[in-house]
Amino acid sequence: MSALAIDVGGTSFKVAIVADGQILIQDRLSHTSEPGDLDRLTEFCNGLMDRVDPDQRPTTVGMSLPGIIDQRTGAMVSAHDKVGYMLGMDLRTWMSDTFGMPAAVENDARAALWGEVGYGAGRGEKDILVLTFGTGIGVAALVDGKALHGPHEHGAILGGHQQINPFLGRICTCGARGCLEAEACGWSMPAVVREWPGIEASPLGTLDKATFSDVASQAYAGDPLALEITEHCARVWGVGIVNLVHVLDPDVVVLSGGLMNAADLMIDTIRKEVDERIWAIWGRPRIEVAADVYASATLGMAYLAEHATA
């Protein structure tokens, strides 16, 4: 049994066929944020399914998106502009009609949570927190064995918008000031670098729009200012994790998403920051990095497609 997993990102669709937690095949399609993208996506998925053996052909399909999904209707009800053209659309019915199989749809951070619960660092656990670090910061939680949704589907997933620097921080995409994302994540990194004191002494100072990947490369090369910035990110994220742990009381915290490709630069500082700030009488939650930081949502969507549609 295999599942077709579609992860919708701002600039690309990542499509995979997954069986028992293993990615059999995967490919990317550009995402131009126009309604015609869904026809191209359909053709692309059908092409990918034709490339696996008939006995490995998917029997379920799942889609993860950077937005809030109403599970009663299968529609995305709030999202970033780049997927705005899908707002209000019943994506679950669209997928089951288009591909002729049972379908599941979920927020991408919650999909990553299921990837870690089903196949990753959260296997066998009942209380897990997952943070995904990419363009933004996604958060999802399993509480007492159940994914936290809340009555409005907001449960945990807006954790990237916890306000950790509310009076002096940078303005966030959500309109508030000093959100975790605004202090350190993919979209805010060019501003973080540009405003960093003394940055002109670093190769990063010559870049128009330095990405996190630029910062990590320079940090690996030993640039002191890049190392200061990765240290800043790690400390800020440690604070964000402590705030979430104080609310949700998990046993395990899993860090995933593309920015965690550079986790070895930051994980010790993240753990130290959590250790120094946390109030926990029982010990400390395990803080782990996903085995494949790019695959959590894909694996999770396959897991959900197989379990939620069974």
- Provide the binding-site residues for Zn ion, judged by CB under 5 A: 161, 172, 174, 176, 179
In the complex, minimum distance from the CB of residue 250 to Zn ion, in angstroms, rounded to a whole number? 22
In the complex, minimum distance from the CB of residue 66 to Zn ion, in angstroms, rounded to a whole number? 14
Which is it for the CA torsion 124, 268, 263, 233, positive or negative? positive
Which bin fits 90, alpha (ψ -120 to 50), beta or left (φ > 0)?
Answer: beta
In the complex, minimum distance from the CB of residue 83 to Zn ion, in angstroms, rounded to a whole number? 18
Q: How far is CA 281 from the centre of its chain?
A: 30
- 258's CB contacts (< 8 A; 6+ apart) are 133, 134, 186, 293, 294
Residue closer to Zn ion by CB (options 62, 178) is: 178
Residue closer to Zn ion by CB (options 57, 170) is: 170
In the complex, minimum distance from the CB of residue 180 to Zn ion, in angstroms, rounded to a whole number? 8
In the complex, minimum distance from the CB of residue 173 to Zn ion, in angstroms, rounded to a whole number? 6
Q: Is residue 127 a contact partner of residue 249, using CB atoms and an 8 Å limit?
A: yes
Residue closer to Zn ion by CB (options 31, 161) is: 161
- 244's CB contacts (< 8 A; 6+ apart) are 129, 131, 139, 141, 156, 159, 162, 253
Residue closer to Zn ion by CB (options 25, 176) is: 176
In the complex, minimum distance from the CB of residue 223 to Zn ion, in angstroms, rounded to a whole number? 29
Q: Which two tokens stand for residue 51?
A: 């490339």
Residue closer to Zn ion by CB (options 137, 304) is: 137
Residue closer to Zn ion by CB (options 176, 289) is: 176
In the complex, minimum distance from the CB of residue 258 to Zn ion, in angstroms, rounded to a whole number? 20
Residues of 48-64 as b/e, b for ≥16 C-beta within 10 angstroms? bbeebeeeeebebbbbb
Residue closer to Zn ion by CB (options 165, 309) is: 165
Q: Is residue 272 a contact partner of residue 238, using CB atoms and an 8 Å limit?
A: yes
In the complex, minimum distance from the CB of residue 182 to Zn ion, in angstroms, rounded to a whole number? 6
Q: Which two tokens stand for residue 94?
A: 């669209």
Closest CA to 19 of 114, 109, 119, 121: 119
DSSP 131: E
Residue closer to Zn ion by CB (options 45, 185) is: 185
Please list the alpha-helical segments (H only) found in the chain. 37-50, 91-99, 108-119, 180-183, 189-194, 212-220, 224-248, 263-277, 296-308
Which is it for the CA torsion 186, 274, 64, 263, positive or negative? positive
